[in-house]
Amino acid sequence: MEVMEIRFQKAGQSHWAVNQLQVQAGSQIVVKFNHCQDLAQVVRAQDLTPEEVALDEIVVERTAVATDLTHAASNQVDAQAALHQARQMVRQHHLRMKLTIARYTLDRHKLIFYFTADGRVDFRELVRDLASVFKTRIELRQIGVRDEAKLLGGIGPCGRQLCCSTFLGEFVPVSIKMAKNQNLSLNPTKISGLCGRLMCCLQFEDDMYEEAKAALPDYGERVQTVDGPGKVVGMNLLSHVLRVRLDGHEVPVDYDLEEIKQH
């Protein structure tokens, strides 16, 4: 069975549906989801069994045409205006929440606001007021700081667009151990992304660093070099170079792994 992964926003949550139209990645389609008609983009299409993927209750209606795209662009302009007005209403209700983005479904039957907050927020009165102003169903979705960066996008410390907002589908766990494996500075400002969390790219090459680390002696381990015994005080995992402080010497010396007789 051929299925397709679709998203309603460029960096939004992924959903799966049967590829009834036999469309290719990058295609824009019109679907029915949660009782609303919406525009979605096909991320990929492939053959999978029902056991391999959980299909969402999505009805694929047709391939999007020019009028659909024009309508979606107009909706986005209106959603930006709605976001500005909604932020004012949040302040009026004295709610501790930050609205991040807003979007209309294609048929404008629903206006969705994404927000961040430190904890739970009672926004029931706000929803009623928003529905009264915009004359449509209102949905407020709380997201985390990583999701906020994913939706808003930006430029990372490397000078490129954020990984999460371009090609990462789902977030994966990232730990400080990954930074240690790569001998990176543990200064939070050096290894944190725009979201304030550890950078997602720390896990991209972690498996390779783990393998390289397993092939080398550990810090503090005693080794026998071509110049005599000593203790490992540093290493370059990529070049397989060990920094060893020889017995009776203060200044450490770098050795290729081949120059270590035993470890």
- pLDDT number for residue 10: 76
Q: Is the pLDDT of residue 144 over 70?
A: yes
- pLDDT number for residue 50: 65
The pLDDT-based confidence of 262 (bands split at 50, 70, 90) is low
Q: Is the pLDDT of residue 261 over 80?
A: no
Per-residue pLDDT tens over the stretch 68-127 = 999 999 999 999 999 999 999 999 999 999 999 999 999 999 999 999 999 999 999 999
Instruction: Tell me the domain boundaries of the chain.
Output: 2-64, 69-143, 162-206, 222-262
3-state secondary structure of 189: helix
Phi, psi dihedrals of residue 208, rounded to the nearest 5°: -65, -40
- pLDDT number for residue 5: 87
Q: Whose structure tokens read 């960096």?
A: 11
Per-residue pLDDT tens over the stretch 234-251 = 888 888 899 999 998 989
Q: Which two tokens stand for residue 34?
A: 């949660």
Distance CA 162, CA 160 (A): 6
Per-residue pLDDT tens over the stretch 179-236 = 988 888 899 989 999 999 999 999 998 998 988 888 888 888 899 998 899 999 988 8
- pLDDT number for residue 64: 95
Q: Return the H-helix or E-strand segment holding 2.
A: strand 2-7
- pLDDT number for residue 61: 92
Q: Is the pLDDT of residue 128 over 90?
A: yes
Q: Is the pLDDT of residue 28 over 90?
A: yes
Q: Is 69-143 a CATH 3.30.300 domain?
A: yes
